[in-house]
Structure 1
């Protein structure tokens, strides 16, 4: 399968097996941007899903017939139609029904919720009754235009509208004019001037002719126009000014000191970040350079729509391919293919929410994207530069209509003393209340701080809410913020209260109060090394297989010693006469062999070795084996007990940068992400500067030689780190980061604000902060640029600092935090081995003592049973000399007579069978032989 790209590779008539046919009318240059969006998004999803689905482009000529189209769809699986004229729309519908091929038809007509088209249009759309895979989709820009019908009537407009527009809407797509024409007031359309001199000339012509101006233009053109109209605004030459723009860039214009207008624009749901991921793909693959393709802020809403349409198409094709193993080809008039049974319409609503609204079904197979719209009131007075207002007044969607935040859209923001305060959840500064469903939503350091500030200032009411994406916010390629920063910059929030770092990039678009918290840097969070304590850790030095082998060698060696002692003619067992004069006479019974082998492994030694040479060879071999085993065990035991405390693979940011085993990354939208991204960009800029200087041909050879060095003079540390972070993947939230730290197989290091990491360490015994902090910045409260509360809030914070009330908050939410964990203290084994690891040897001694006591008990009772005492034996009251009994071998008569003679200093006991005057029975030998005992002889 191959992919046909309509720009890179022209159609050759040979189609891929799975292709998407994009049909457009001849000479319709207005759809070229749509074609580009579809083409690049196809490349994106091909790379994302690893699924081969190409794009074919088919131009519908004026004389194109159904047969001509049918001949082109042999290997096409889905058709996307950009036809705009009535006859071409009907043609593509008939082809879809005839070939039973799924088709998405984009419609660019005026739209309204009750019916798909306005009653005053001559264009109609007939949906097939017997084919459900023909769907129609309305772009969000067309839905956004309908908001005029609901919003403008609430402005009490009675004068003529002067509409100043640029090329934000293509000339061919002018359906937005129909919405303005339906308001019931005269409308005059003019091209907005963009050159300063022409703007001034246009203002002079409008001064006495236009009272109500509506801008339908890009944000930059509106700001440029208002900058030149400062005197007209101050003189109130215009009664009402509106900006109705699909450009998602908010109004900033720091030089516009005077402004009084309503700003109406689409607003991202901020729940998903499709366009940012899309732009990263474009920049990473240098598509913006190779194909001159970028997504401007005025195109973002439509680009997200075509992006999602291509996403739904890919998901549909993959599902069909996996369900039916292969996608059958289509042809007009043939029997319907099996894969047409999957409803295409269901795949358009699989995602619960998109970046700009939700795809909803209208009548039959009509779909529209319910894009959210926000209305802001902008009020600036040149005489009071520190009192700028950008207030969110209302929201609008198709389903809800206009939802007011205050009394009316025309209410002046200067009269409103209720402020919207945005925040993000980051314990312990902001965290959800345990019983938030039945009480306050949030609690924490910042929540208490905001309450103290409100009490200090007085007459300040505020509404606290969490931003949709739960991030602090980052800036995209068009200079637009998301997250907490985006809420403040756009005007959706007046104040942002959170552990927000003061950064130069943020200070360009918002105002910060004086810091309310100490300098906080960036740190590293890693999983705490698991120190394994075991009383029998000394047994784990060798694997159980080795212990089994040692036990087997012990038993086999003991058996060999016993066998050799029994069969060798030179052993003591078989040659007692030869060794009768030896001092040590040891007979190696099986018990003695087992004892010999065991004691040979100890410093006590095995005792007397076997007499036979074969037994001694076995003993010597066992000694050598034991020496090697004991030496190896001793060496490994020391290393095994200390290796855990010597391992410190990561101790700083440099250690992370030098290795590639442990993954690391900051959280999306955090200050840490901005730090590493910007550092990488700076290194890249330095590299290009150095390269341009080195290759500058205008320099003299001597000057160039001073720049020619063997190595790149600036480090690329952060460039490599940022590349590795992108490959590792940035966690979406703190919970995701902690989960990766705890569960990653090869390890994961999270880089974030030190307070985040300190709190994670505070509430978990398995986490630890690694290294020292870097890039330290203070925390402060952010307000809209020029907001009148800035000085009051700063003064309140200084007062609270002087009263040490913020120190009390820190004590409350850190040291007295109810979620604080009491973790066991890790044993420091730097000075010796802990009892947890070596205590098993004491258990071995105890087990030996218990076993010996049990054995002694058994011996005692066994002996009592085996050797009963005679009842006739009496015991003398007087002690008698102890008689040592020796069993002697048989002797001759002469020797017997010789021994009968008494020796000096000896007492002779003779055998006497009579009981009269018999001595103590215990002194009588048990056999008929004589024995002698040396006793003291009294002269």
Structure 2
């Protein structure tokens, strides 16, 4: 009977097992909503051939392949017909190995660069890269910065780097290689570079914080353009960026405004609300992974219906070599059918990859995220909202479609011939700051232009003999050119002949000279760490402390000791003579000590204060001495133009400027400064020797001779970026600016000036200067703005605290010694029956006999603690 019951029980147990199909899932991230999405998908599957569907879940730590292997084996041995794989790389790789070995279908929802044997429902990364490229082309991203999070991000962008690299300048920067959550250093670096176009690839865990820190460093303004590759970009709270006018473009598979996604959000987040009336608001939280989990499980459930009704449920032991018979069949069936899911139509190509899909192109605007286009496999990218360029400003005297002849000269970096291996024609032959400035003005105002070159590089001056202007100014007046641009200084004389636009670059005159060499150390260089005042106070403190110790030692009764304690003596001795006190202070100062040891409280306090004083002073001296020994003191023969005039003849320094330039004119007109007049007279008297026809000649002389060249500060800055042996000396002697010259009373002067001001406000002029001064043609070779390498002596302000503490301690010692003397005298008066005042006066008279170092004992035998009565 018992045997019959056991047999029936086993039969029904086996029957119940057969009636249930199990789908397993392994989760290695702490997100209960994903598990809820899995169970929601399980409940959506109808019974298959009379068998119900059950979901089995195993949770494992992230990146723990051993635990992942055990979880996979447990699910397989429990009869799982498929496993939804984990998301971390190590775990997923291990689970895939186990499933391949046992021929169990693996449902994968990760972003994988090259999917292998699993059924990967994530859109193929190579196709996503093609979409990135189409967006870059649509938004004219010619030069841009790629900001990525980690190695996985770089792998995803590898195809982009290969495909889009030719003909475009891409800068690749990792947001935070130390993984400490501080992205500002990288963001500040790209901000300083002037970059405005970015491709941002990072996880949703950090994406919002990255944008916040970018906003803090000034990279979220109306000048920046972002393409966000994260397909869950829309799930973030982007309220703080809506009104920044930043151009932020992204992509998504999930439309939170659709009814099905709103219902799904209500289902997945149903336990997170007290009022389900507003549950649809959480639809924007539904991300791609949740939707893929549901699509993968429900699609697999539909494919199970295509198997024979009596197909065998796997009963496999991980330790055996046995594999499931229907595993390969199921995998092939999934990859051969089409299924409409939350992420759109799911279908796989001949290689089993999800390459045919569609998604939406979105942008962040003031009202939130809006859809501006879509992409699908058959039609490609379709943008239905295009942002045209800003129209030219409506000003009086419109320049739209006008053509100007612009004259310039080949002066670095304002105008230069472009280096090219192929022949160039027209405006393409030239490059430089002035060339780019005209191009930017052309974009803003809509005019055309043609460059011509002034070969002799003369800016222009008034020829009194002919009564006409020469150089580029003369070409503008004569009508040979409409505009003139180069390092053309606006002067009152030139402005009387032509009109100038507003200043596009401010500058002054300074001195270009060789960098100073290291000065030879002085004979007393060891004293440099302290200023002269500190050395004087140090000497005063030394002698003052020595004398204080001597006086306190004489006054203190404890310092008078019997030299032979075992023998009665008539005299007491004191070790603190003046020379011993000086020796004690010397030993302490030199950190060597001495054989002398104070006994009384007061003298020990003085000694302690002196030790504290010497500790701080010696440490400060040692530290500052090291700084002096490791730094260089520059030996500059002059610090400004006034010193140059004084020492030039004595030290054999020559100085000059460009002939007939605005710099020479400045010294000629500066009649109220005697030194400037002396400079002008010297340059005129030695014109053949010190004056040059071109700035390049002056720079060469300054670099190879003992020669100071007066030059505009902008040109000096350009040269010192490339010639590390040169530097700028002194401050600017004046203030002036460069402008664009045009004929008198030109109707387009106001339009050009307004456009220049707008370029300045938008940062375009600063960007152009940084490009041609610090980046192109060898710029940035020499570091600028170096800190001074000259050591600074410590003055009284640096060490006054230690002096103050020492003085206070000495004063307290003086108070203590008088208290000690009074107590001693009072006790003595009680013992010898003499008045206190008489004994005190006797003590004082003895103490002022500074030469006496033997004190008579006035009592037959010493009292306890070393006191002797008289």
TM norm structure 2:
0.33
Q: More helix per residue: 1 or 2?
A: 2
Whichever of the two has the greater Rg, that structure is: 1
Give the TM-score normalised by the residue count of structure 1: 0.30
